[in-house]
């Protein structure tokens, strides 16, 4: 059985669009930008705000809504049909203070298939005192059991391909994978031998 490594935010869920529609747009009703115009992640430049303001808003959203985010329905349907054919691991980069919310969310929504959860703390300030893996690629090299990595972050996918490991850049408005739809991406996973 092949082992698939899934990013959590904006792959298993729709964090950016949920944050954007349910928090940002409500607080900034004059903003005319559509979700599909968020061509960068983090989106602070596109939205014309500071990085601090963006992170503050996103963190507040994770605190208030992080537990109740809906899973992406296309992905959930795929797991229901194809999930049993593979082993699955969740690999997320998130501030450590939200790791418990993310882990519980993954187990509650995808625990039928995803049995392992690994976190790379993001935004950690005291990295000299942290002896563990700093990046997803470092973790994947050390762990050595991944067959395919699915992530919406360009830089992460590039670093994974350099390992080298198979990887799918999950189509989102902020990455270069404009041709492949999420349906196509899921179909290409289904085709794995
Ligand atoms: Mg992501």
- Alpha carbon of 172 to ligand 1 centroid (Å): 10
The C-alpha atoms of residue 151 and residue 172 are separated, in whole angstroms, by: 10
- Percent helix, percent strand, percent coil in the chain, to nearest 5: 50, 15, 35
- Alpha carbon of 6 to ligand 1 centroid (Å): 9
Task: Report residue 133: phi and psi, to 5°.
Answer: -55, 135
For residue 64, is it left (φ>0), alpha (ψ between -120 and 50) or beta?
alpha
pTM above 0.75, yes or no: yes
Let me know: does 160 contact 119? Beta carbons within 8 Å. Answer: no
Domain residue ranges of the chain, discontinuous segments joined by + = 3-14+71-190, 15-68
Class of domain 3-14+71-190: alpha beta
- Alpha carbon of 41 to ligand 1 centroid (Å): 10
- The token pair that represents 150 in the structure block: 């699915």
The C-alpha atoms of residue 25 and residue 19 are separated, in whole angstroms, by: 9
- Alpha carbon of 9 to ligand 1 centroid (Å): 4
pLDDT tens for the chain, 193 residues long, are 999 999 999 999 999 999 999 999 988 877 788 999 999 999 999 999 999 999 999 999 999 999 999 999 999 999 999 999 999 999 999 999 999 999 999 999 999 999 999 999 998 766 677 889 999 999 999 999 999 999 999 999 999 999 999 999 999 999 988 778 999 999 999 999 8
């Amino acid at each position: 059985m092949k082992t698939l490594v899934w990013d959590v935010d904006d792959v298993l869920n729709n964090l950016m669009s949920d944050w954007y529609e349910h928090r940002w747009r409500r607080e900034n009703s004059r903003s005319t930008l559509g979700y599909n115009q968020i061509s960068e992640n983090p989106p602070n430049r596109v939205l014309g705000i500071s990085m601090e303001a963006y992170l503050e808003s996103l963190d507040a959203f994770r605190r208030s809504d992080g537990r109740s985010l809906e899973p992406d329905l296309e992905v959930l349907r795929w797991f229901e049909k194809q999930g049993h054919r593979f082993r699955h691991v969740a690999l997320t980069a998130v501030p450590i203070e939200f790791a418990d919310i993310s882990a519980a969310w993954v187990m509650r929504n995808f625990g039928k298939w995803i049995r392992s959860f690994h976190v790379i703390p993001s935004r950690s300030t005291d990295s000299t005192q942290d002896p563990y893996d700093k990046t997803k690629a470092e973790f994947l090299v050390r762990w050595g059991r991944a067959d395919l990595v699915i992530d919406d972050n360009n830089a992460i996918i590039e670093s994974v391909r350099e390992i080298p490991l198979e990887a799918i850049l999950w189509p989102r408005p902020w990455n270069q994978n404009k041709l492949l739809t999420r349906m196509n991406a899921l179909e290409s996973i289904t085709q794995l031998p």
